[in-house]
Structure 1
Amino acid sequence: MKTKILASGAVLALMAGMASAQTVRLGTEGAYPPYNFINDAGEIVGFEVELGNELCKRAGLTCEWVQNDWDSIIPNLQSGNYDAIMAGMSITDEREEVIDFTQNYIPPASSSYVGLTADVDIKGGVVAAQTGTIQAGYVAESGATLLEFATPEETVAAVKSGEAVAVFADKDYLVPVVAESGGELVMLDADVQLGGGVGMGLRDSDDELRGKFDAAIKSMKCDGSLDALIARAEYFGPEAVVFGDAGKEGC
């Protein structure tokens, strides 16, 4: 009888903890593999979904995913449609003027150009980039003619159709695109380092929530699980840039 009473008490305590867990809505694009995308079953999946679910678990939060188009992803955060952004968003000074960021969960990495041939004119030609990205801002200041599209798929299609001589985007996104093109697309030898890595975007007023996610991200850096997730073959692969010992400083 005593055992049953203790078990019942444990269940009640667990239920109380679940009931009191804060529900947090995470906004993502669902169109930027391997960061986030929609699978054949219509589910939002990808590196950020697996990471976000683990961060929520470590932070003691109940999380729900919300799909939102990239071009309105920051305004809809500010208007309260969700509580945080996980959408391959680079940390930049310009974005930090309107939203807050956690520490990065992807270290600063390369952006790259992809074209039909390796000798295209990326300085004076038409270069495609996704609207509102750090890459679009770079192209606009590079001397090339910027051609913006709402989705990353459209930027690649513009190169294939001849509307643009190249697309400029995260290298992590472009590598599998080139690999799957059957030789139609080539990676140009012109990598560029932009931004401060990828982090979660939050409203400036949500200091407590940012602190919870910061602690969860740091715990994954400290125990090596974040590097292991980044380097998984279905995400960025064993050659990906990871945090290594630098991520364990202060652990």
Structure 2
Amino acid sequence: MKKLILTAAALALSTGFAMADTVRMGTEGAYPPYNFINDKGEVDGFERELGDLLCEKAGLTCEWVTNEWDSIIPNLLSGNYDTIIAGMSITDERMETIDFTQNYIPPAASAYAALSADADLSGVVAAQVGTIQADYVAKSGATLLEFATLDDTVAAVKNGEADAVFADKDALAPFVGSDMSWAGDDVPLGGGVGIGMRKSDAELKGKFDAVITEMKADGSLNAMIKKWFGDEATVF
């Protein structure tokens, strides 16, 4: 559900994954409920539960690595971890640089949230840097105000720096309530969320794809989505 614009030529590396090794799962740790750091200082959330299960079913040993969002693709290509499982939307632009498994979250809505439902969505709109939402705002005619994290974008609305925030609707939902409202219409973006990996790691991609296919067929993936995103979440 996020998009990072990169110069593919500058990042084309040949680093590969050896199937006998531990799979290092790279995530942001700052995008609940997809991924976050819990009170024990551990990676938690939907993608932690899903990633651990994928590894178990694929017969792999996995460990978790956190990385800031704006450098998450370069550090995958540099070999600092083997996958990106961090709420990342599958886009044609990203696929010029990295590969993806099939989606484990179907295409879902992005939305605006503001202090009032009639906020000016053509004014200043906050979005997380390097996301498909930031790209959309930049092309919409509104003034884009980018921040490093989702929390920062919401804070910008609350402190008056921005008229609205634009992000994944399911990620914004916990912030909408007594002091924030949905504004405008939902906007469908992206091709769903998948696991990003180096193009050289076709064998690893195949293992994860096989398990995701199995989980879609038996309904367990839909059940996990509803557990973390609610009964109204978009499912397969």
- On whether the aligned pair clears a TM of 0.5, the verdict is yes
Structure 1 segments of 4+ aligned residues over 2 angstroms from their partners: none
Q: Compute the TM-score of the two structures, normalised by the length of structure 2.
A: 0.91
Is 2:126 the partner of 1:138? Answer: no
Q: Compute the TM-score of the two structures, normalised by the length of structure 1.
A: 0.85
Distance 2:188 2:25 in 1: 27
Distance 1:237 1:216 in 2: 23
Give the drift of 1:21: 5.2
Distance 2:193 2:66 in 1: 18
Q: Gaps spanning 5+ residues in structure 1: where?
A: 1-19, 244-251
CA contact (8 A) 1:230 1:242 kept: yes
Distance 2:126 2:115 in 1: 13
Counterparts of residues 31-180 of structure 1 (less than 5 Å):
31-123=30-122, 125-179=123-177
Give the drift of 1:138: 0.4
Higher relative contact order (CA 8 A, sep 6+): 2
Match of 1:7 in 2: none
- Which of the pair is proportionally richer in helix? 1
SS at match of 1:25: strand
Match of 1:248 in 2: none
Across the aligned residues of Structure 1 and Structure 2, the Cα RMSD in angstroms comes to 1.0
Match of 2:179 in 1: 184
SS at match of 1:61: coil
Distance 1:44 1:241 in 2: 24
CA contact (8 A) 2:30 2:149 kept: yes
Is 2:230 the partner of 1:237? Answer: yes
CA contact (8 A) 1:106 1:197 kept: yes
CA contact (8 A) 1:21 1:60 kept: no
Give the drift of 1:58: 1.0
SS at match of 2:190: coil
Match of 2:202 in 1: 207
SS at match of 2:176: helix
CA contact (8 A) 1:21 1:62 kept: no
Identity of aligned residues (%): 71
Distance 1:77 1:43 in 2: 20
Say how many residue pairs are matched.
Answer: 218
- Return the index of the structure with the highest Cα Rg: 1
Q: Gaps spanning 5+ residues in structure 2: where?
A: 1-18
Pick aligned residue for 1:216 from 208, 211, 216: 211
1:197-243 deviation line (CA, Å, top 9, x unaligned): 000000111111111111111111111100000011xx101111100
Give the drift of 1:188: 1.4
Give the drift of 1:22: 3.8
CA contact (8 A) 2:25 2:82 kept: yes
Give the drift of 1:72: 0.5
